[in-house]
Amino acid sequence: MGQPAFAPPRAGLPPRILAAAPWALVGVALSVGTGVLLGAHPLIPLDLGLVVAAAVLIAIRPYPALLAVVTVNVISPWHLFWTSLTAAGVGLAVLVRAPAGIPRRVMLPLLVLLVLTLPGVPVHPSPDEGNVPPVVTLPALHIRYSDAVSTELSAWIGVASVLATFCLAAWAVTTRRRLSWFVGALLVGSLYPIAYAFKQYAAGDLTVRTNQSSSFAAVRGPFHHPNFLAFYLLVVIGITLAAFIEARRLAVRLALLGLLAAASVCLFLTYTRSAWIGAAIVVLVLGLLRYRILLVGGAIALALAAFAFPAAARKVQDRFGDLSTSSESHASNSWKWRTGQWSRMEHWGWERPFLGQGFGSYQRLSIKEFGYFDRHYQVADPGHPFAPRGIAPHNDYVKMFVETGIIGLSLWVLTLGGLISAAWRARRAPPLRAYARAMVAVMIALAIVSYADNVQGYTTVLLVTSAMIGGLAGLQRASRSRPATPTAGPT
């Protein structure tokens, strides 16, 4: 039998109310959640609103967002607002919208490292951190968005921003044109730190390192320390060399040659030995991989520079002088000072060999180890009494062992190896070979000099490097998934 022509209305709620019920439940949940968050801290809803707004914009336009993220973090480095927004906003957008295929050899070990270490990271600063500002405000607007956070949490956010930017670049860079524009944005953006450094040099606004002669007063650009600028320039030099090799127009090559010269001069004026060594490694690796002319050209350039600028050559020799056994600075010489520090700090890692003492805890532990009265290892900088106290590790591998144990150290090594591997694999695509080789060279240099410097703490350096490698990986993935252009049949 069929249905009756007329059926009486069923008892219950009208259809409009039933359709609106899910939205009402969502509204109630959001209202309750907002109330709970406001009760926990009045700034939490503002922070979440900023993160969600940024994530929506990034999800809609990932490629312009990538250009903006890299440019802002170069122009305004070490500003916690930009680093946090990069880590949280980009991270949320990647989690919700990013396609599959982001290289796991980089993403997984770094993600696991961040997840394992987060529970032990303190939120609020400790008394050892010196004159910490009570609140954190938005750049230029001076709107409060957070109370002061610990240096450990700031360091953790920095590493998280590197992971987020790598994933964003692997998501957004899908064509050769996009890669070219991205490289162009990186190189044009580097003009600001370089010009800033030259301005400092002309004005005499230089940084004198603790226990160093004023003759080594160095430029720092928009960064807080000359070493940060030096390693950023190392990456810029590597990318510029690749762009110079790729360029075909004479005008472009001349412009890149000028940028290379300016970056090299600024690198010299940082007086950062480890970055000088890193730049030499970049040229050496590129020469061994493919471009033998770089080995010859580099040797000739150094010889000509030493002949034309003998005072600069003497400064280089003097800068490396405290690595010799005749030097009496620090604990007889700089290298012995570092190895002595590592040997005394390693036991903190062995006390908790699997997960370590906590991410970012090295400097705090150095105060316990050396105290305030050690003649060779001073945990407070006399020239900056309100700066955070403690001794920087000058070795990322010892740092990671002390802070995160064998597990964290292994994950960090896997992350570095994954970045090198991702760049190496990008060599298979002919249009990417020059940039891929350059990033292999840069990553090898960073991995080597990490044994004697604080490379992990140079967030902008790792962010730019990971973005470049992520872009290469993204373009390689897109090229594999793009259908081949059909060839014409016989006529």
pLDDT reading at 130 higher than 90: no
What share of the chain in percent tops pLDDT 90?
Answer: 55
Identify the pLDDT of residue 107. 92
Q: How confident is the model at residue 320 (pLDDT cuts 50, 70, 90)?
A: confident
Q: What is the mean pLDDT of residues 400-429?
A: 95
Q: Taking 90 as the threshold, does the pLDDT of residue 293 lie above it?
A: no
Positive/negative CA dihedral, 425, 456, 341, 273: positive
Across 469-476, average pLDDT: 94
Per-residue model confidence (pLDDT) at position 159: 96
Number of H helices, E strands in the chain: 19, 2
Does residue 304 have a pLDDT over 70? no
CB 58 within 8 A of CB 90: yes
At 19, the pLDDT band (50, 70, 90 cuts) reads: low
Residue 38 has pLDDT above 80, yes or no: no
Name the most confidently modeled range: 284-288, 303-307, 485-489: 284-288
The better pLDDT of the pair 62, 147 is held by: 62
- In this prediction, residue 30 carries a pLDDT of 46
Ranked by mean pLDDT, the top range of 5-9, 72-76, 132-136 is 72-76
pLDDT score recorded for residue 306: 55
pLDDT surpasses 50 at 6: no
The DSSP secondary-structure symbol of 169 reads H
Which pLDDT does position 418 carry in this prediction?
96
- pLDDT surpasses 50 at 36: no
Is the model more confident about 44 or about 206?
206
> What is the predicted pLDDT for the residue at 296?
65
Residue 80 — pLDDT band, cuts 50, 70, 90? confident
Q: Which of 230-234, 311-315, 403-407 has the lowest mean pLDDT?
A: 311-315
Higher pLDDT, 460 or 320: 460
Average pLDDT over all residues of the chain: 83
- R_g of the chain computed on alpha carbons: 26
What are residue 139's phi and psi, to 5 degrees?
Answer: -60, 135
CA distance 86 to 234: 23
The closest of 389, 388, 382, 401 to 342, measured between CA atoms, is: 401
Which residue has tokens 């020059």?
Answer: 434
pLDDT 10s digits, 282-291: 998 998 887 7
pLDDT range class, residue 295, cuts 50, 70, 90: low
* The residue type at 149: V
Over residues 193-215, the mean pLDDT reads 91
How many C-beta neighbours within 10 Å does residue 484 have?
5
DSSP string covering 257-319: HHHHHHHHHHHHHTT-HHHHHHHHHHHHHHHHHT-HHHHHHHHHHHHHHHHH-HHHHHHHHHH
Q: Which residue has the higher pLDDT, 409 or 21?
A: 409
pLDDT of residue 488: 43
Instruction: Report pTM.
Output: 0.86
3-state secondary structure at position 158: helix
Please tell me the distance from the alpha carbon of residue 57 to that of residue 46, in angstroms, as a whole number: 17
CB count, 10 Å around CB of 107?
19
Give the lowest-confidence range in 11-25, 80-94, 116-130: 11-25
Lowest pLDDT segment from 85-94, 230-239, 425-434, 457-466: 425-434
Report pLDDT digits (tens) over 250-262: 999 999 999 999 9
Tokens of 326: 């005749």
Percentages of the chain per state (helix, strand, coil), in multiples of 5 = 70, 0, 30
The percentage of the chain sitting over the pLDDT mark of 70, rounded to a whole number, equals 79
Q: What are the residues whose beta carbons fall under 8 Å from the beta carbon of 235, sequence distance 6 or more? A: 442, 461, 464, 465, 468
Q: Confirm if 406 and 353 have CB atoms less than 8 A apart.
A: yes
Q: What is the pLDDT of residue 144?
A: 74
User: If you average pLDDT over each of 22-31, 222-231, 239-248, which comes out highest?
Assistant: 222-231
What is the C-alpha to C-alpha distance for residues 179 and 426, in angstroms, rounded to an integer?
Answer: 13
